[in-house]
Amino acid sequence: MSTKKPVLEVRNLRVEFPNRRGNLVAVDDVSFTVNEGEVLGVVGESGAGKSMTGSAIIGLLEPPGRIAGGEVWLDGERIDNLSQEAMRKIRGKRIGMVFQDPLTSLNPLYTVGWQLIETILTHQDLTEAQARKHAIDLLGEVGIPSPEKRIDQYPHQFSGGMRQRVVIALALCVNPRMIIADEPTTALDVSIQAQIIKLLKRLCDEHGAAIMLVTHDMGVIAETADRVAVMYAGRIAEIGPVQDVIKKAKHPYTEGLMGSIPVVGHDLERLTQIEGSMPRLTEIPRGCAFNPRCPQVFDRCRVERPNLIDVDRSSAACWLHANGTSKTEAAQ
C-alpha cells in the first residue's frame, strides 16, 4: 500500500444528465484517491461511466451533463467548484490530458515544435531558445527519433503512434501533477500500445505524476496500473491493488471480467464471460445494478443497493461481503 501523498481525491462524485423525465445518473457516488507516482486504472464495459468520471474531474463535461454532487480535490485544493477560467489554467498546468485520438489535442496547422514551445512558454519563465531545447529533450524522452529534425514537422507527418507520443510530450511539458489518459492506446496497433503504456508509466514514475488511466482493456490495466477501479452502471463495483483484483476478485462482476486476462490490445467485451449486458441508465434495476446478471445473486441483492465494503486490501460493493465494514458506515 502506498504511503505517498494523495494527488487526486474524488469524493462521492455524482454526474447527472437532466432530461424531460428526470435525471439520468451517469456517475453515482464514485470515490477514489490517486497517489503520487501511482497509476489508477479505471475499467468497465462501454457506458459504465469511466469517461464521464474523467470529464467531470477536468471540468469538461458536455452540457447538459453536470456535477450534481461530490467533490474533486487536487493536491489538497478543491477544484470542482472553480470558475471555467480557473479550471482552464489547471488543465493547462496541473492536469495533463491524453485522449484516444491524438489529433484532438494537436493543431494540424502548426508544427509540433510550435505547439510544445508555446505551451512551455505560457507556463515557464524561459527564453524561446531554452523552450525549444526543452521541447527537443521531451520529444527525445518520449521516444521520437531525431527530435531536433522532427520538431519542425506538422502532426500529419507523424504516424499514429508517434503522434500519441507527441501528445504525451505536450501533456508532460508543464510538469503536471496528474495525467488523465482516456483510452490512450485504443486507436493504435497492438505492438505500439504496449510501448506507449510503458512510456506513460515510466514518465509517471520519473516525473512523480499520478495517472488515471481509463480503458475498457483489462490487459492494459494488468500491465500498467497499481490499483484498479472496476465500474459498473455508473458506480464502482470494486477497487483495490491490481494484483489482488486480478488474482482474487471480490465482486462477481470483476470475477467475470477476469475470466481470462487478455494481452494488451484485446477487447474486454470479447473476453467477458458474463451473460447479458449492462443496463441502460434508464433501466437500472432495483438493488444491486448487477443482480440480473450475477451468478451468485440472492434476495437482498434484488432490493438493497450495496455500498463499498472493505475486503482484505480491496473494497467491493457486494452483499457477499456483508460482514465486512461498509465504507459509508465507517465514515459515520
Interface ranges with ligand ATP (CB under 6 A): 17, 24, 26, 44, 46-52, 65, 216, 281
d(CA 179, CA 232): 23
Give the nearest distance from C-beta 15 to ligand ATP in angstroms: 8
C-alpha cell at 159: 504516424
In one-letter notation, the amino acid at residue 130 is Q
Q: With beta carbons less than 8 A apart as the criterion, state whether 307 and 239 touch.
A: no
**Residue closer to ligand ATP, measured from CB, 47 or 155:** 47
- The neighbouring-strand residues paired with 314 are 311
Give the nearest distance from C-beta 323 to ligand ATP in angstroms: 31
Query: How would you class 126 by CB atoms within 10 Å of its CB: exposed for 0-12, middle for 13-18, buried for 19 or more?
Result: middle
Beta-carbon contacts of residue 220 (< 8 Å; ≥ 6 apart): 41, 185, 193, 197, 213, 264
Give the nearest distance from C-beta 171 to ligand ATP in angstroms: 19
**Residue closer to ligand ATP, measured from CB, 115 or 193:** 193
Give the nearest distance from C-beta 116 to ligand ATP in angstroms: 28
End-to-end CA distance of the chain: 24
**Residue closer to ligand ATP, measured from CB, 280 or 313:** 280
Give the nearest distance from C-beta 195 to ligand ATP in angstroms: 22
**Residue closer to ligand ATP, measured from CB, 7 or 52:** 52
Residue 28: which of 316, 234, 236 has the closest Cα?
Answer: 234
**Residue closer to ligand ATP, measured from CB, 100 or 243:** 100
**Residue closer to ligand ATP, measured from CB, 215 or 315:** 215
Give the nearest distance from C-beta 218 to ligand ATP in angstroms: 13
- The neighbouring-strand residues paired with 45 are none
d(CA 292, CA 277): 10
- The neighbouring-strand residues paired with 23 are 18
C-alpha cell at 229: 477501479
